[in-house]
Structure 1
């Protein structure tokens, strides 16, 4: 029993160098073989992330309200007071934890698909960067694993660069969830937060923006190579205003994690999705995976970090300048896709569709 508890504790906290080694002393009849045990741990690691993303915020809010109505109301009151005091922290660089980013659970998360991070060029710690991540997929597994954890070795591959994955600002209004996200170096995708990281936090910062956002997630499906980028120029304006270099990033296999029911344009369900997207900030999708519908398919996800585009600092860039660097970014992304597509299961004839 002590061995089981030690293994479970190590899985959650990442304190053990090898969870399976803690199980080796158990009688062989009590557990499946090593490979099956590894697979179970990988599934659990992915499920905890998906469930946390979908339900942790709402569950913790409900729990906080419940505690406030019990004899333990003082605990809830103290936390609410702390929440008010700490409210602006996500917009001021957050509160990342190298301990959380190095949890053992993320290595199992990585190995489930598996997820890989490939570096193509060095990044200078004396510069700041905006990574454009494509495509969004359903849950952006590659983006989270590569930039929200150290499972694929970001800090070793890009020494001196501190990644901050930008996500919906609404997630940081939920108790506990906000702290969980901040511990991974995840920040709100709003102007205040990104301005702080790129202008008041020194150099060596890389803000990762999923450019296609919620709109792109409505179109993701296995085998589709499509990104929403043609009219997305805000991240280019931001790069020019802060003098941050643009870096195209493409994840092969991101769209293969789930199968999605895609509704045709003009249908009632499509209109409903778009209305909810405007209200909630994200697009509710009807998707399914391998187990219980919620576990994604274990298809490889390979994230390629491309060559940085040097961007000058122009406080009030003209539309022509914005269009110039936007066109340069699109061309760089297309070249990145074309260069690596055949290495990751695509055909030479496959093209990247930009909408």
Structure 2
């Protein structure tokens, strides 16, 4: 069974295309520069007559430090912003349902590939623009991202309001144990390592050595669900350095220290705007996972293997309908 929202108009006015481009541009610039700009602004204000403002903010920040890992501060208002519908229509982005998700259970959705900015994951699971609530009634998606972003002043408050959560163990434990049932925690499994393999024509996912999400699923009895965003890797052209080269080693070092990879990429217009390429995010069938407070390595390996098999099956079953040729393969590393 397929569920897909929304149907896109075949023709767009010039004004509509402009609105879409502006909405996407603001998101890309926020993704790239909001954090750095916020830090510079707060430091600058400390040396002006407005110093009480950052001082009070930092005092409040200390008291509020653990809020992201205790369920955050999501607002429905931000999730329902009109700009996200223009953002969705720019590509366009579609959500495809292949199976039911029981609202009386919890889930961990592994989303692939990361791409440069995880556009499909953000639009489908952190906004209401793609119809997740209608497709999966009673299930609440909770997109978990790099925990370090929640330590950046001002940026942390914005992304919490957008319904984003840190992908840290305390945060995931809270979401899977303190919020009742019907929680779908979405994790972009491949993370920064997968972003470095993002390029048009490539379908590479980093998951073979990533088993923490499986262990978490076993500890809380959360079913595993593979998700694949077709078209995610087509949105930007990236310079990919060969393994062992100086440039790649510097990228890996930066990733190890900071937590994300400095990708060298370019879009279609003004370098920052991505290509208008359709992104189809397909949500697969859940893999039933028993609850085991102290899972063994054998249990983790077993369900990890089932997950990789399900992900591969999902990719090959939907690749042609989502714009790829029959010859395309999924590379799991």
TM-score by length of 2: 0.94
Match of 1:162 in 2: 140
Q: For 1:136, which of 114, 118, 122 is the aligned residue?
A: 114
Match of 2:318 in 1: 340
Match of 1:108 in 2: 86
Match of 2:7 in 1: none
- Cα distance in 2 for residues equivalent to 1:112 and 1:181: 22
Structure 1: any 5+ residue segments left out of the alignment? Answer: 1-32
Match of 1:281 in 2: 259
Q: Does 1:148 align with 2:130?
A: no
Q: Does 1:65 align with 2:48?
A: no
Q: For 1:246, which of 208, 219, 224 is the aligned residue?
A: 224
The offset of 1:349, in angstroms, is 2.5
Match of 2:56 in 1: 78
Q: Does 1:303 align with 2:277?
A: no
Match of 1:232 in 2: 210
Q: For 2:290, which of 294, 312, 315 is the aligned residue?
A: 312
- The Cα offsets for residues 83-115 of structure 1, whole Å up to 9 and x where unpaired, read as 112111100011111110010110110000000
Q: Which has the larger radius of gyration?
A: 1
- The Cα offsets for residues 189-214 of structure 1, whole Å up to 9 and x where unpaired, read as 11010011001111111111111110
Query: Secondary structure, in 3 states, of the residue corresponding to 2:319?
Result: helix
Match of 2:194 in 1: 216
The offset of 1:50, in angstroms, is 1.1
- Cα distance in 1 for residues equivalent to 2:323 and 2:34: 35
Q: Does 1:206 align with 2:161?
A: no
The offset of 1:120, in angstroms, is 1.2
The offset of 1:166, in angstroms, is 1.0
Q: For 1:125, which of 87, 92, 103 is the aligned residue?
A: 103
Q: For 1:193, which of 158, 171, 186 is the aligned residue?
A: 171
- The Cα offsets for residues 2-44 of structure 1, whole Å up to 9 and x where unpaired, read as xxxxxxxxxxxxxxxxxxxxxxxxxxxxxxx971111111111
Q: Does 1:95 align with 2:37?
A: no
- Cα distance in 1 for residues equivalent to 2:50 and 2:28: 30
- Cα distance in 1 for residues equivalent to 2:75 and 2:132: 15
8 A contact 1:163–1:185 mirrored in 2: no
- Cα distance in 2 for residues equivalent to 1:289 and 1:73: 39
Match of 1:6 in 2: none
- Cα distance in 1 for residues equivalent to 2:153 and 2:133: 29
- Cα distance in 2 for residues equivalent to 1:354 and 1:138: 18
TM-score by length of 1: 0.89
Query: Secondary structure, in 3 states, of the residue corresponding to 2:165?
Result: strand
- The Cα offsets for residues 55-81 of structure 1, whole Å up to 9 and x where unpaired, read as 111211221222222222222222222
Which is bigger in relative contact order (C-alpha 8 A, separation at least 6)?
A: 2
Query: Secondary structure, in 3 states, of the residue corresponding to 1:342?
Result: coil
Q: CA RMSD in A?
A: 1.3
Match of 2:8 in 1: none
More helix by share: 1
- Cα distance in 1 for residues equivalent to 2:300 and 2:106: 18
Q: Does 1:258 align with 2:275?
A: no
Give the ranges of 4+ consecutive aligned residues of structure 1 lying more than 6 Å apart after TM superposition. none
Q: For 1:350, which of 314, 328, 332 is the aligned residue?
A: 328
Structure 2: any 5+ residue segments left out of the alignment? Answer: 1-10
